[in-house]
Amino acid sequence: MAVMAQAPSTKPIRLIVPYAAGGPIDVTARALVERVKDTLGPVIIDNRPGAGGNIGADAVAKATPDGSVIGIAATATHAVNPWLYSRMPYNAANDFSPITQMLRVPNVLVMNAATAQRLQIASLADLLRYARAHPGQLNFGSGGNGSAGHLAGELFKARAGIFAVHIPYNGGNPAQLALLSGQVDFNFDNLATAAPNIKSGKLLALAVTTRQRSPHMPDVPAVAETLSNFSVDTWWGLVAPAGTPTAVIERLNLAFTQALNAPETRQRFAVLMAEPAPSTPQAFGQFMVSELSAYERVVKASGAKVD
């Protein structure tokens, strides 16, 4: 506990969020910094959106490694973009010191309820049987080439041994509207985003993409219950520039993991159907390495590329 006995720093810590204000990552970051101000002192959110998160992540990578600047590492910035973008301004594997994972947000495989009824699909097993019997007759939408929904769909197709046509849209909202109107048959969507339409009966939730069921919708099975070892999480966490002293990382880790474990934090994040996932720096580092490796295969198989 000696590390927590240190007085909070008088110099504000700058937390770079590589996405625009108001999104889920920004909202959770702002909620979390409120809970560490008594131990770390003021933490200022600095939104640096652009280039799929690369601009903000690069600013973290190139900051002075003294603990005064930290940032958000996410699925896109540290697992997908290195394979999606032909030129990267930073090295996701070498330019950062992990602090802790923050959250996991389940995605969910959803069908237009009317389409599912017409095709007599009531479960994931039904969907797989139909797809195998009617190759190429199903399609799925996403928020664009290389998006989380696109890559989840490609991994699903590969693991299931099926073929479905991918239809990219310009963002998650147009993709959801296309599903609701019956223009596409299924999507992989954020659970919090899809939940209202699932509850209203407009969408049929077939499975969540996390390895276990979500506590927010425990009646919806995990894809892994049908396709073993299938797991596609949307996640984010905290990192510092590479070379940040170990003692600084440990101090940041202790403050942020205690904040993530607080009941009030869990209640706040439950609104987003997000699950706090505090970890050691070592565990988060190993997790990011495994995600980077896993998405290399998925992105290359999808053919998605950003020049």
Each domain of the chain, given as residue ranges in start order, spans 2-105+234-302, 107-225
Percent of the chain topping pLDDT 90: 78
pTM over 0.95, yes/no: no
The label of the residue with tokens 């990382």 reads 249
Question: Are residues 17 and 72 in contact, defined by beta-carbon separation less than 8 angstroms?
Answer: yes
Q: Residue 202 class from Cβ within 10 Å (0-12 exposed, 13-18 middle, 19+ buried)? A: middle
- Could you tell me the fold of the domain covering 107-225? D-Maltodextrin-Binding Protein; domain 2 (3.40.190)
The reply to whether domains 2-105+234-302 and 107-225 share a CATH topology is yes
The 10s digit of each residue's pLDDT in 171-183 is 888 999 999 999 9
Residue 8 has pLDDT above 60, yes or no: no
Please state which CATH number belongs to domain 2-105+234-302: 3.40.190.150
CA 96 – CA 100 distance, rounded (Å): 12
CA of residue 271 relative to chain centroid, distance: 16
Question: Are residues 13 and 42 in contact, defined by beta-carbon separation less than 8 angstroms?
Answer: yes
What pairing do the DSSP bridges indicate for beta strands 203-208 and 107-112? antiparallel
Quick one: average pLDDT of 219-238?
92
Confidence of residue 3 (pLDDT cuts 50, 70, 90): very low
Q: What pLDDT does 10 receive?
A: 61
Q: What pLDDT does 298 receive?
A: 87
